[in-house]
Each structure stands twice: as C-alpha cells, then as structure tokens.
Chain A
Amino acid sequence: MGKQYETVIGLEVHVELATKTKIFCGCTTAFGGAPNTHTCPVCTGMPGSLPVLNRQVLAYAVAVGLATNCDITRYCKFDRKNYFYPDNPQNYQISQLYLPICRNGKVEIETENGKKAIGIHEIHMEEDAGKMLHDELDDYSLVDYNRSGVPLIEIVSEPDMRSAEEVIAYLEKLRMLIQYLGASDCKMQEGSMRADVNLSVREAGALEYGTRTEMKNLNSFSAITRAIAGETARQIDLIEAGEKVVQETRRWDDNVGKSYAMRSKEDAQDYRYFPDPDLVPIVVSDEFLQEIKGKQPEFREEKMARYKEEFDIPAYDIDIITGSKHMADLFEETVALGAQPKKVSNWLMVETLRLLKENNMDPEDIRFSPKNLAGLIKLTDAKAINSTVAKEVFEEMFKNDIDPEKYVEEKGLKTVNDEGALRKTVEEVIANNPQSVEDYRNGKEKAIGFLVGQTMKAMKGKADPSMVNQLLKELL
C-alpha cells in the first residue's frame, strides 16, 4: 500500500465591491460602456491626479470583516505595490500590505464531516486594473481603463482547508455572507468573485507543510474542484517520483484539465511596497464602527432559525429561500403584504426556480416585486383566476414585473363565475360531443376529462375546472 497524503489548501479570494463609484475617484463602476468612457484623470493615471478614498469601500470592507469575525485595524493605511504593466495606469496598484483593514478572523463551514472553523488571515482593500485586449494578428494591444479603480477586497484565508469539499463550503459561506451584506453580488462567472488556490501536499500526520503552488484562472466552483484534484495528483506524482514541488504560480486550463507554470518564486518581482503618501491614514472611529455594526443584516443561519419558528414551511424550502438574500427578502416582503407563507414559498420553489433554470439566471436576478407576487396570490385566493391562468400571469410577471390584477383585467383572464354562462357552454359541449357523452354514460369515467377540456377551451381557460366538472356531472 502506498503512502497516505494530506492536501493543505488556503485561498485568496478577490471580491468586487458593489459601490456605485470607483475606489479613488467618482467614475461609475457600471459594467459595459464603450472603452475608456468610465474614466477620469485619476483612474487613467494622468500626471498630477490624486486618489481620494471612497468611504463606502471602507464601510463594506469593515462589514465583511465583522461578518467574518475579524479584528478591525483601527489605524490602517494604503500601500503602493509597484510593478510595470499597461493595465495598471500608474504602474503601481494601490493596495494594503502593512496595515490591512481586517485581520485574524474565522468562518464556520459545514461539510459531510461536520463543522469546522476556517481562519481568515487578513482582508485588504485594493483597486482593480484595466483590461488588455491583444490583437495577435496585427501585433498590438489596447487597454480599456473602465475597470481600472473598481474596488476590490482580497480575503486571505489560513491554510486550514483539506479538501475541495471544504474549499467549496468556505467559498459558499463567504459568498452568502457578502451577498447578505449587499457588499457584492459575488458572481464567479462574471468575475466579481475570484479565487486563487494555494495548495501543498504532505504525508498524512506530518507537521511541516509541503511546498505550495498558487493556482490562478479558476472561474467556477467546478473548475476549482477539478483544479484541486489535478494539482493534488500532480504534486503527489512528483513526490512519489522523488522530485521536488517547485514554489510557483500556475494557470489552470479547465478545457484541457491541466495547469501550466506561469512564474516561479525565483522570478518573483520585488514590489517595493511602501505606504501611499497621497492617501492619509484611515482612522476607524468608534462611531463609524458602531454605525457599521448597527447595519449588519440578519445572516442566513439566524434567518433559517427564525423561519423555522415563524413560518410553517418545509426545511427544504427554508434552505433554498435563505440561500439567496434577494429571495429571502422577496419571501419576507410578500408575506408582510398578507400572503400566506406556504403559498409564497410554493411560487418561489416551483415556478420561480423553474423559470430561473430555464433562463439560466441566478436568484439575485429575479425582477418581480413582492407587491405583484402578493397580488397574484390574492387573485388565486379569491378564485378570480384559476391555476393555469395564474401560471401564465406569473410567467409574464417574472419577465416584466407586471401588475397581475391589471394584467388579468386587460387580457380578460378572470374566471367566469357566472353559472348561467357556464351552464350554457357545458350544454353546448354536451350537444357537440355525442360520442364522449355516450362513452361516459356507458361507464367510461375518463371521457369526462375530454368534456372538461372542451369546456375550458370554449371558455378560453377562464373557468374554474372544478365547477365545470360539477356541472357536467349534473347535466349528464
């Protein structure tokens, strides 16, 4: 039997903060826009321009620090990380090295093996770089500074994770906390959350860490899982073959399922970090800290416990609904408007999830309002529309957030509760379908289904099916 190995993993997670403006200037952080239109002298590194910290960046960073049980650095500074690259207009990135805003935190994760605390070494604030566009054919590059100066926080964990499962649980946990804070939407595919994996292996039971590598270009949870498996195997193979793991940065190619060395420790640059003299040190006052603490939301665990107490809905529903801050807000606000929790939950769990999946959307992208969902539920409660019509209205609401009452009115979708009109239609259906009538009378119970369908069709779906059923039975 071969040796047993243990994988040791630490993560560096970059999160793009959801501020309206950039970290050091007033330019918008909005996505898109023609190249270099969301720019000014500051974020393009014009001579003489100066950075000024966006207070909201600090507020978000402190909020994330508090949510991850960090110590908040009450006197902190920004440092310059010096390196030349055209996406970095000043040729230094404003970041934090010596006095990061948060240190020494932890979050609790839960996997099949139970609960575990993952340490957070530090969280620091920094600016994002611009985007390079390389034209390989014509041999030139262009740079777009629209992203230059977009605020980021980098969350650096301790090397406390031992499996891909723990890594994913940790990332899910961070994502949930940050989304609940509203500090970021944390979308990995869109790059608003990025994770670099620091990984080493050692023989089971060893006390010393092995030599680690840093893996970049991981754009999804599944890519992270595959990269961890790949890198663990690669390092074990090296050790088994009597070779050494080289400390280096590697790039994961998820299409090929392999990683490639980018640069080794030997070519590591000297970033010549020093405190940025253009930015005054930040003093986090008691008042500011209290203000942020006061604004911390109810996080998922607390919310789950409360839902269990307050609402009579299944644990599974609670899990899904609280899995997105946006969905939980939608749920609570709709209930607050008088809708029955179970009914709200049903709409979210069945139709909403189906449409999200069909449209390849996240719960965060839901656009319909609690008011309109409550309105729809009110219509069904009053039997003003039947369930088929309700689904149709819901789809429209999901797409365009229409007011269901108005919509039903305008499209004439209200259930016809006028028994006279319904009776007339049923009589016509009976008269026009002698064969089915015959079948039913001969004991073929199923034939009534066809007659109900024909009646509903004639009523353009606006009848209450149970009423139709009852009338048919009566008239046959």
Chain B
Amino acid sequence: MNILDMTAASLGAAIKKKEVTVMDAVRAVLEQIEETESTYHCYVTVDKEGAFRQAQEVQSKIDAGELTGPLAGVPVAIKDNMCTKGLLTTCSSKILGNFVPTYDSEAVRNLQKAGAVIIGKTNMDEFAMGSTTETSAFGVTKNPWNPNHVPGGSSGGSAAAVAAKECFYALGSDTGGSIRQPASFCGVVGLKPTYGTVSRYGLIAYASSLDQIGPLCKDVTDCATIMEVIASHDPKDSTSVKREDTDFTSALTDDVKGLKIGIPKDYFGEGLDPEVKDAVLKAAEVLKEKGAIVEEFDLSLAEYAIPAYYTIAAAEASSNLERFDGIKYGYRTEQYHGLHNMYKKSRSEGFGAEVKRRIMLGSFVLSSGYYDAYYLKALRVKALIKKAFDKAFAKYDVILGPVAPTTAPKLGESLSDPLKMYLGDIYTISVNLAGLPGMSVPCGVDSKGLPIGLQLIGDCFKEKNIIRAAYAYEQARGAFVRKEEN
C-alpha cells in the first residue's frame, strides 16, 4: 500500500510494527507537497528541516520504547493560528507575517508528547474570519477535488492538505463552522469538540467564547484517535474542562441500534441545494436501516443564530485583535509620526478587508449606547439557542443535518457578497453558540463532482454519540475516494 493512502491510525500501526519508518512517512509527505503544493497551496510554511529533525527524534524514541501511542511518527499539519515555538505563526495575516512564537500551544504540545511530526502550518482565512480561505494574506488555497473551487474555511488549508495527502491529519479551529465546513467541501472528516475539551492556550483567538480546536482527518477512526491525544484539562485555560470520558475510540462500535437521531426540519428549508439535501437524507436512511431511530422535529431559532453569532464573534474579535498594534511583535508601518499614527497605519496596512469589517462591526456593537441593543441581545439569543438544543437533546442522542447549504463554491464567488457568505454558516454556527460537539462526515458527491458533508451534532460532552453514528455510517458507506476533476 502506498504510504500516502494510509490513514493516520494505520500509518501509526505500521510504524509501530517497523513496516514503515517515520522518515519514510515524512519523505512521502514532503514529496507529495513538492508535487501538488503549487496547485493547491495548502501551507503557509512547510518546515522541511524541522520535519526531518523531528522524524529522527521520534524514531529513536519509538525504537527505545518511549513512544508507544497510536500516532507516534505520523506527520501532521497545524493551522497557522496555533503557536508553534520557533516556527512562523501568521494567522495568514500580514500583521503577523514575521511572528515567531516563543512557546507552543497546548494542543501542539499534546501532539508532540504523542510523537507527532509537524510538517508545517496551513493556510487559513485571515484570523479565521471567512468561509473560503480566500481572505488569507498569503494566497488562496484550492480545493483538491477541483482547483477552480474553494476548499472552504477558515481551516481550508488543513482540510485541503488532508484531502491532497500533503499530511496524514491536521488540526483546525472552529468558531462558526471553520472545521466542519472545509471538511465537508474537501471530503474529509472534521470534528469540532465540545467547548472546553481542547485547550485554547496558544490558539490565537478570533472569538474566545466560541473557538475550539479539533481534528481534520481521513476517517472517523482517525478522528477518535486524534481526539484522545489532544483533549486535555489545561490549568492555563480557565475555560478548559476536566473530563473523564475522553476514551473516544470506545465509540467505534459499528452499532447504532436504538440510537435516537433527530432531523431538524428547519435545516432542510429554503436555500438548501437539492443534491445536498438528498445525500444527507440518504445518509439518515442508512443509519435508520442499521437500527437507529430517526425522527423529524422543529429546532427553530436557526434564523436568529447568524445575527447573534456575527454580533458576539465580532465583538470578541474587535477586542482580541487589539494586541496587534505593531509595538511588541508583528508588522509595523514604515513611516509614521507619533504613537497614534503608528497604530493607525500599522493596523490599516496589516489587516485585510474582512478582518477590518469585523473589527468595525464588533467595535460598534460594544460601543456605549449600543451594547444593550446588540451585544446583550445577542447573548440572550445565544442562551435561547442553548435552551432549544437542551430540549432537543432531552429527546435525541444525535441531531443530523447538512454542514453547508451547498458544495464548495467557485473561487472568487463568495467575497463579493459577504452577507451571502455569512448565510452559508447557517447550519454550523448554532453549534458553536451552544458549545456543542459537531462533526462533518463525507456522504456523497454532487453532479459537479464535489463532496457533500453530513453533519452530526451531539449534546455537550457527548462526542461519543456522534462518533458512534459517524463510524456506523462510514462502515456502511465504504471508502470515500477523491477524484480530481478540472
């Protein structure tokens, strides 16, 4: 078997059995990058030297029996908003174009402890603001299924790198769908865990109350395996939760008998592409045939999720991004007179249009006289959405729906109409507002040859329910192989 066709878990097993060396795996990935990166542009930084160095270190630890985990020696790509000590971390923004962190994010540390080999940092929408990876200051990432289409975003580089076999798995971050939607567009598996499951320490914040790190990978087994490595209680993150139930691979049972699945009717209304709708409902049928109880219900409130999300996320972002001022690190304008002019010019030149739009929006909703009408009201909507989900999860184990209304749009189609782009997040953002786990699993290909994603949503701390459903579905579906069309 070609090394590149292996999943992360199968490669890890092969390395353990000495069938493959870590260096073999690293070389295979670097060769693939050499070959296809110029087409897809998944990475901001490829750390070739670092990868070779890590490969040697990890191999000797494996040989010495110090590293025995399932992912030891497996090459991984990291979204460029997670700090990596000594390795450029840009958030795909000019303002951090020269930023080399002095410390590692906790999720990356957890990977390193498990023997992961970091290949590089993946491209993203600038500061994770966008749904196409087109707002990156360092070029557009293209969809490996069809390079005329976007990979989705904001973790588009991570999703595309997995799909293009330029890594074996990747970390992404999801604030409003930024793992699930690109996973859906690129035909890979993506999971946004329950808020608080993966430490945010070292994740450069977009919207702190919604951001969550998660895996993008080739199948559900990899997803559960990676989750067991990156989930941790971190005293450095006060929103980090101490969980006992992180044995995610125990849910890989191929048994959904009696699992109660709810299909929210409002997720299948106007705006949903019929091909996406058919594929998702077919997936529900598959689960039903395997013994799950599938019912339709009214979730409601979905329409309020978008304005609430963009209010809260923009408010937090406007404050989170204040530290990028050209003083301590990052980009500083060449010519300036006085402090305030330096701030103004550095930030005007350093941030892109979408980031500036959200900073302005966020500053506005927090400003005196508008705080109650916008920010506080959005928080109330957030609480109501959580309530609606609580009610649903009193009845169902899993909520099933589409990830996005359409498959991947063509390059350049989305940015001209930001409002339309925001509406594309309709099925994913309420999961972030309620802090729930949500997963995207490939469930078909449309007539254009682009992949379709199935979204499975669980109650807080119930990742195992959605992993169980996803795994059972995946077993029935069979292999999901990319065919590139031009």
Residues on A facing B (Cβ under 8 Å):
41, 44-53, 80, 82, 84, 86, 89-92, 143, 270, 272-274, 277-280
Contacts and interface: CB of A to CB of B under 8 A. Distances in A.
A277 B237 contact: no
Contacts of B324: 47
Given A272-B366, A274-B366, A280-B238, A48 B315 contact: no
Contact of B315 (A46, A50, A51, A274): A274
A274 B319 contact: yes
A309 to B, nearest CB: 48
Contacts of A90: 322-323
A298 to B, nearest CB: 35
Contact of B82 (A46, A48, A82, A270): A48
A46 B103 contact: yes
Interface stretch (B16-24, B147-155, B195-203, B436-444): B195-203
Contacts of B325: 84, 86, 91
Given A90-B322, A274-B366, A50 B236 contact: yes
B205 interface: yes
Contacts of A279: 238
B363 interface: yes
Interface in B309-324: 315-316, 318-319, 322-324
Contact of B238 (A48, A92, A143, A278): A278
Given A90-B323, A274-B319, A52 B236 contact: yes
Interface string B65-93: 00000000000000001110000010100
Q: Is chain B's interface secondary structure helix, strand, loop, or mixed overall?
A: loop
B327 interface: yes
Nearest to B369: A270
A91 B323 contact: yes
B322 A277 contact: no
A278 B200 CA distance: 9
Given A41-B103, A274-B375, A277-B208, A48 B322 contact: no
5 contacts: A44-B328, A47-B89, A47-B329, A50-B238, A277-B208
B237 A52 contact: yes
A126 B368 CA distance: 21
A48 B205 contact: yes
A49 B200 CA distance: 9
Contacts of A48: 81-83, 101, 105, 200-205
Given A80-B319, A90-B322, A272 B339 contact: no
Nearest to B316: A277
Given A44-B328, A47-B83, A274-B371, A82 B319 contact: yes
A274 B315 CA distance: 9
Contacts of A89: 323, 328
A84 B207 CA distance: 19
B290 to A, nearest CB: 40
B315 to A, nearest CB: 6
B447 interface: no
B60 interface: no
Interface in B360-397: 363, 366-368, 371, 375
B258 interface: no
Interface string B166-208: 0000000000000000000000000000000000111111011
B274 interface: no
Given A48-B204, A84-B340, A270-B367, 17 more contacts: A47-B329, A48-B82, A48-B200, A49-B103, A50-B236, A86-B325, A86-B327, A89-B323, A89-B328, A91-B322, A92-B319, A143-B327, A272-B368, A274-B319, A279-B238, A280-B238, A280-B239
A278 B324 CA distance: 17
A45 B204 CA distance: 11
Which of A51, A80, A92, A274 has the most chain B CB atoms closer than 10 A to its own CB? Answer: A274
Contact of B201 (A50, A92, A280): A50
Contacts of B82: 48
Interface in B292-339: 315-316, 318-319, 322-325, 327-329, 339
Given A270-B367, A277-B209, A84 B322 contact: yes
Contacts of B416: none
A26 to B, nearest CB: 9
B204 to A, nearest CB: 4
A294 B186 CA distance: 60
Interface centre among A45, A277, A280 (most CB of B within 10 A): A277
